[in-house]
Structure 1
Amino acid sequence: MSDDCRGKESWPELVGARGVDAAATIERENPYVSAVIVLEGTIVTHEFSCTRVRVWVDTNGTVVEIPRIG
């Protein structure tokens, strides 16, 4: 993580939750970030951003990785 990021940085408790619910929780708990739902296996850029949390989901829409700032 970066020292410049504000608010909560990771949400391990959301693994196994529905992605849409996880995204809403993340944005409620840290108003400085936007949660983006991403299907596992999707190719994404690797630049770090303090204002983004990727919520990796499977084909059922279930969170499969710990959502974290980045």
Structure 2
Amino acid sequence: MASDCQAKSSWPELLGAQARVAVVTIETQNPYVDTQVVLEGTPVTKDFSCSRVRVWIDQNRIVTRVPVIG
């Protein structure tokens, strides 16, 4: 599915980064997506969207999962 989306689709280099840095990096590298910062444990929908990247963070606002389109 992510292969059908435009531009960069995964940001493994952002694992462990500050949320603010991750959001700016993702939206700069792929102008077709919007980011959603999500606290670990928060329920989310399971639908797939080429225009969304969820940035999962802990209570310290550190990225806990590799951000990917979806």
Give the Cα separation in 1 of the matches to 2:43 and 2:2. 23
Counterparts in 2 of 1:2 and 1:11: CA distance versus 1, 3 Å: closer
How far off is 1:62 after superposition?
Answer: 0.1
**Residues matched between the structures, number:** 70
Larger helix share, 1 or 2:
2
* Structure 2 match to 1:44: 44
Q: CA RMSD in A?
A: 0.8
After superposition, where does 1:1-70 map in structure 2 within 5 Å? 1-70=1-70
Normalising by structure 1, we get a TM-score of 0.95
Q: Percent identity?
A: 57
Structure 2's unaligned 5+ residue stretches are none
SS at match of 1:20: helix
Structure 1's unaligned 5+ residue stretches are none
Q: Is the 8 A contact 2:2 2:9 kept in 1?
A: no
Question: Structure 1: which 4+ aligned runs deviate by more than 3 Å?
Answer: none
